Structure 1
Amino acid sequence: MLGNIQPLDRVFLHLGPITIYWYGVIIGVGVLLALYIATREAERRGLSKELFVDLVLFAVPIAIICARIYYVIFKWDYYSQHVSEIPQIWQGGIAIHGGLIGAVATALVFSKIKGVSFWKLADIAAPSIILGQAIGRWGNFMNQEAHGGPVTREFLEGLHLPDFIINQMYINGTYYHPTFLYESLWNLVGFILLIALRRVNLRRGEMFFTYIIWYSIGRFFVEGLRTDSLMLTETLRIAQVISLFFIALAIVLLIIRRVKGWSKERYLE
């Protein structure tokens, strides 16, 4: 029976010579839903919703490129021998940390050009970003990637997972931890937390710092279960090191901004 388990089809649609993969569709859905939520909140906060549309038009392509570059750099031993595969992001292989760095850098430049507070934009966008990440992890599910170490079917059934997830975690004769799901659920809880915090008149920037800290804590622990981690050394996982750095940076900046009086404005103002 186990030998008859077939993975879900990675292809969403064939349009003549063009193949559209579920990975790209899921990422696209995540971006659109995140944009919708951000534009609604932007209007409530007195900003034009077109502002976030313009930001996304720049930030998303740059984030994807940066996410791919980040991944390729740390997998250069492979890609130096397979250069033609570097643009093939539909096969998977983009690093969220690289995408975040690219998106934040884009938002910093964008806010300067538009004369809008970066922190105001970041606070509004924070729930949308983590929701997009929660949805995007299902692209990894369709590609059967970003999974953890071997487990038994009984273990997965003990988590009360539906059969379609259990079967998709059966890869080359072995069941694996659905770490994509763990991170997706963690991010979904983070989204709910950040939406709730919109009722709290936090100081400007602190919604974004909360996102960074929450996401990084979850990523640190989930990364420890994964088998496909980008490695800094034989024992150091890059994502865990970056997660710890982001947590420390967010806490330090939060404290400095309060002590220096740089965050007098509040979210609801």
Structure 2
Amino acid sequence: MLPLKLDPIAFSLGSLEVHWYGIILGSAALVGLLLAIWEGKRFGLSPDFFLDLMLYGVPSAIIAARLYYVIFTWDYYGQHPGEIIQIWNGGIAIYGALIGALICGYLYFRSKGYSFWRVVDICAPSLLAGQMIGRWGNFVNQEAYGSPVEESFLRDTLHLPNFIVNQMNVEGTFHHPTFLYESLWSLLGIIVLFVLRRQNFMRAGELFMSYFIWYSIGRFYIEAIRTDSLAFAGPSWLASFLKGLWTPMEWFGFEQGYLDPQYGNVRSSQLLALLIIIGCIILIIVRRRMGYAKERYVDPLTSTKQPAETTATAGASAAASDSAALAGVTAPAATADKHRTSEHEPSKASGEKKDADSGDAKSNGSPTGENESGDTGSNGTDSGSSDSGAGDSGSAGSDSSSSD
């Protein structure tokens, strides 16, 4: 049976070729966006908040991912500078994408008045979802695969379906499907984050750092299997140390991918993953010890920009309350004047009304109490309405000073 290979081009529109890689990355971004919107609703964040974030964040992530890759392969791009912008030919790094997205996110959250740590906690599962789906783009392109492996390992040990096994046959040699390892690791990570974010002990920022720890653990071990790792020339003790940490993978039948010595002896992503794990653990401990991590994930999310916006609303409410209070005083006064005028008009109906009122007053044992009490009660109510309006104004003014 001839191996069935996937065509990286999904379809063509005239001279325009639409690649599966782009479709998959777009789908990854969409799923991540929907997850963030779904969770953001619990905290009162509108879908537009995340749509704008993606609008700014995706280009920032792509540019940073490309720059990261170019920097670590400058020996080539230094001689071919015209290819630096040819991102459609491949060559991006996920750690670079994360750096770009974080910088953009920090500036965006700051402009909206939200805590950086609170919002990135909400977005953490979305990042893993994007990576879980995005890695299938590497699968279609037959890139970022691992070291050579026997076909029997893929079929009999891992029990992979034919379409994956066939696609891992690159130029007659089968390779580890590292894309699949990372995709499944990300899927498991999403479940872990979903469980953690419901726990009361999780402080602000810790879910996001848990994401980094989880992803970096998987990346550390998966990266060493790959044959296209970005690397640099480091001290021999560091290379030996990293290899020693990776040794447990050999117990499961995995072998490290070949790393060309001319590119270096230390895989940059592997070292970075280790530093991120250590850094995040230290940061969690320090933030708790120093009292910086006071908010919990489940606490309400507020914006420092909202009081400023509320000030204008409060001012308008105060003006409306004053107008309502003034109208409340004027209207009863006019009604009272009209009532008093009608009482002094000599008419038979008025006389009958007066007799009836007198009769009622006698039956109640208070000849004049009802009319006086009624007028007083009416005026008291009007004054209360006016006081209420003033109270609203005072409340609004209090909010305004609070926002300052």
Shorter-chain-normalised TM-score: which range?
Answer: over 0.9
Kindly indicate whether the alpha-carbon contact (under 8 Å) linking 2:4 and 2:163 is maintained by their aligned counterparts in 1.
Answer: no
- 1:263 aligned partner: 293
Q: Which range moves more in the overlay, 148-157 or 45-54?
A: 45-54
Query: Match for 1:235: what amino acid?
Result: N
Q: Cα deviations across residues 49-101 of structure 1 (Å, max 9, x unaligned)? A: 21111111101110011001101111112223333332333332210000000
Q: Distance in 2 between matches of 1:67 and 1:99?
A: 4
Partner of 1:194: 193
1:235 has 2:235 as partner: no
Partner deviation per Cα, 1:161-200 (whole Å, 9 max, x = no partner): 0000000000111000101110110011001111122211
- Aligned letter for 1:254? I
Give the partner amino acid of 1:217.
I
Q: 1:7 deviation in Å?
A: 2.3
State the Cα distance separating 1:43 from its structure 2 match: 1.0
* Corresponding residue of 1:254: 284
Cα displacement (A) at 1:6: 4.6
8 Å CA contact 1:123, 1:206 repeated in 2: yes
**Which one scores higher on RCO, CA 8 angstroms, separation ≥ 6?**
1
Instruction: Provide TM-score, normalisation by structure 1.
Output: 0.96
Matched, 1:27 2:57: no
**In 2, distance between residues paired with 1:91 and 1:161?**
29
Q: Distance in 2 between matches of 1:88 and 1:251?
A: 38
Rounded Cα–Cα distance in structure 2 between residues aligned with 1:184 and 1:82: 33
Aligned pair 1:212/2:242, yes or no?
no
Conserved? CA contact 2:32–2:126, under 8 Å: yes
CA-based RMSD of the aligned residues comes to 1.2
Stretch deviating more after TM superposition (25-34 or 190-199): 190-199
Q: In the alignment, what sits opposite 2:176? A: 177
Counterpart of 2:5 (choices 4, 7, 15) is 7
* Residue type of the alignment partner of 2:208: F
Instruction: Check whether the contact 1:212–1:250 (CA below 8 A) recurs between aligned residues.
Output: yes
Q: Distance in 2 between matches of 1:247 and 1:206?
A: 13
State whether structure 2 residue 226 is matched by structure 1 residue 226: yes
Contact 1:24 1:90 (8 Å CA) reproduced: no
Deviations along 1:119-142, whole A, 9 cap, x unmatched?
Answer: 111000000001100110000001
Alpha-carbon separation, structure 2, partners of 1:96 and 1:6: 29
Which of 62, 65, 70 does residue 63 from structure 2 map onto? Answer: 65
1:26-175 matches, within 5 Å, as 26-158=24-156, 159-175=158-174
Matched position secondary structure for 2:231 = coil
The 3-state SS of whatever aligns with 1:87 is coil
Q: 1:45: Cα distance to partner? A: 1.4
The separation in 1 between residues aligned to 2:21 and 2:231, in whole angstroms, is 24
Q: In the aligned structure 2, how far is the partner of 1:113 from the partner of 1:230?
A: 35
- Of structures 1 and 2, the larger Rg is shown by 2
Between structures 1 and 2, the one with greater helix share: 2
* Residue 5 of structure 1: how far off its partner (Å): 2.5
TM-score by length of 2: 0.65
Matched residue of 1:119: which SS?
helix
Q: Deviations over 1:207-249 (max 9, x none)?
A: 0010000000000000010000000222100001110111111
Distance 2:174 2:81 in 1: 31
Tell me, yes or no, if the aligned pair for 2:61 and 2:97 is still in contact at 8 Å. yes
Unaligned runs of 5+ in 1: none
